[in-house]
Structure 1
Amino acid sequence: MGNHDNAHFFFAVKLPSETKKQLNEYCKELKEKLPFSRWVHHEDYHITLAFLGSAPEHKLNTAGKLVADSLEGTKAFPLFINRLGIFGKESSPRIFWCDTECEERLHVVRDKVFSACQDAGFELETRPFKPHITLARKWVGTEAFQKSSIDQYNPFKEKALEFDAAEVVLYRTHLDKTPKYESIAIFPLLAE
């Protein structure tokens, strides 16, 4: 896996490439209406389950084994992207995201992955899980961000974007590359 010095690692639900492309099309339209400083490369869209930060290889390997064990027998399931949202100050958000309809099975998968990483010795962020797909960062509009635009420009209003959550992936971050995230291990869920 090479040099780990400033690499970061995280487990995430993988989005199928069709879904990434579709989201990218929506973002091209949203970009023209909503000035954020950095839009995420479409190959980098994902739903984070557990952020590990930097990690020695042996610890990553342990986490991988434990995650694989904990997901054993877990079935793939559909998710429906249905809304836009923000994190941070309402007038000047730092994260712009889209989110899926609430799905208990996603929370179950997250709990399994999270516990496995803790068992592997990782100290994880304990904030409540808020599943989301980051689309852009840092509001740079001359005007304050209007929360109403989240509904106004929601591309999923008429029809949610459906995809199958079929793989959990261990990603490695390359800060100097675009796209940034490299898949280094894949944990498939059982076909429905």
Structure 2
Amino acid sequence: MLRLFVGIELPESVRGGLAAVREDYPSAHWHEPEHLHLTLNFIGSVDEECAGRMATALVDVPGPAFSLTVQGVGYFGTPERPSVLWAGLAPSLQLHQLQQALEARLLPLGLMVEDRPYAPHITLARVKPGVPLQAFLQRHAQLSMPAFPVEHISLFLSSRGEHGVRYRVIERFRLA
């Protein structure tokens, strides 16, 4: 089985800028810069035949190229039990339209349905309970990076290894 998702690769300048905000938090497991990405649609575990159908559905993705801007930081979970530390993105109608168009194409092929609205973010770290994040959040609340172009989407393979989760691009699809 292949564990797949559709996402946007980040330019090296963005990955480097996000790596620069890493701090020494004892219970935070930071993602390596080369694994930072923006997930659009989590597909889940599928066999190779289904993966092929998913890839075919991503050809000729509707919508023009656009730009995104990294803006701010936040977390998922509660203040007492945060689970994920993330960098946010400036609001983008094009991003939401792209995500919805992809979801509409992939749902009939077995895409896992999310039970919460799409919240675009770049996961920076997984956080174990007990990590005080308020100081980090205050220091980086005004995080803002120059806009970067989004000219294609990528089909990623997610795999677990001895050093944690690794992501590898299987195929890229240019925006129409």
Pair in the same fold by TM > 0.5:
yes
Q: Is the 8 A contact 2:7 2:37 kept in 1?
A: yes
Runs of 5+ unmatched residues, structure 2: none
Determine which of 163, 166, 172 is the counterpart of 2:148. 163
CA distance in 2, matches of 1:169, 1:50: 11
Count of residue correspondences: 175
- Aligned partner of 1:114 in structure 2 is 103
- 1:74-101 per-residue CA deviation (whole Å, 9 max, x = no partner) reads 2111111110000012123100000111
Aligned AA (2:149): D
SS in structure 2 at match of 1:26 = coil
Percent of residue pairs bearing the same amino acid type: 25
- Aligned partner of 1:94 in structure 2 is 83
- Aligned partner of 2:169 in structure 1 is 183
SS in structure 2 at match of 1:84 = strand
CA distance in 2, matches of 1:63, 1:92: 35
Structure 1 or 2: more strand by fraction: 2
Structure 2 counterparts to residues 22-61 of structure 1, below 5 A: 22-27=17-22, 31-32=23-24, 34-61=25-52
Q: How far off its partner does 1:177 sit?
A: 6.0
Q: How far off its partner does 1:151 sit?
A: 3.0
CA 1:155/1:25 → structure 2, altered by over 3 Å: closer, same or farther?
Answer: farther
1:15 aligns with 2:10: yes
1:82 aligns with 2:68: no
Q: How far off its partner does 1:165 sit?
A: 1.8
Determine which of 126, 135, 138 is the counterpart of 1:151. 138
RMSD: 2.1
Structure 2 counterparts to residues 123-162 of structure 1, below 5 A: 123-139=112-128, 141=130, 145-147=132-134, 149-154=136-141, 156=143, 159-162=144-147
CA distance in 2, matches of 1:149, 1:17: 23
- 1:153-184 per-residue CA deviation (whole Å, 9 max, x = no partner) reads 3362xx43421122211100121065700100
TM-score, scaled to structure 1: 0.81
CA distance in 2, matches of 1:39, 1:121: 31
CA 1:123/1:25 → structure 2, altered by over 3 Å: closer, same or farther?
Answer: closer
- Runs of 4+ residues deviating >4 angstroms: none
CA distance in 1, matches of 2:36, 2:135: 24
Aligned AA (2:137): I
CA 1:117/1:177 → structure 2, altered by over 3 Å: closer, same or farther?
Answer: farther
Q: How far off its partner does 1:122 sit?
A: 2.6
Q: Is the 8 A contact 1:139 1:145 kept in 2?
A: no
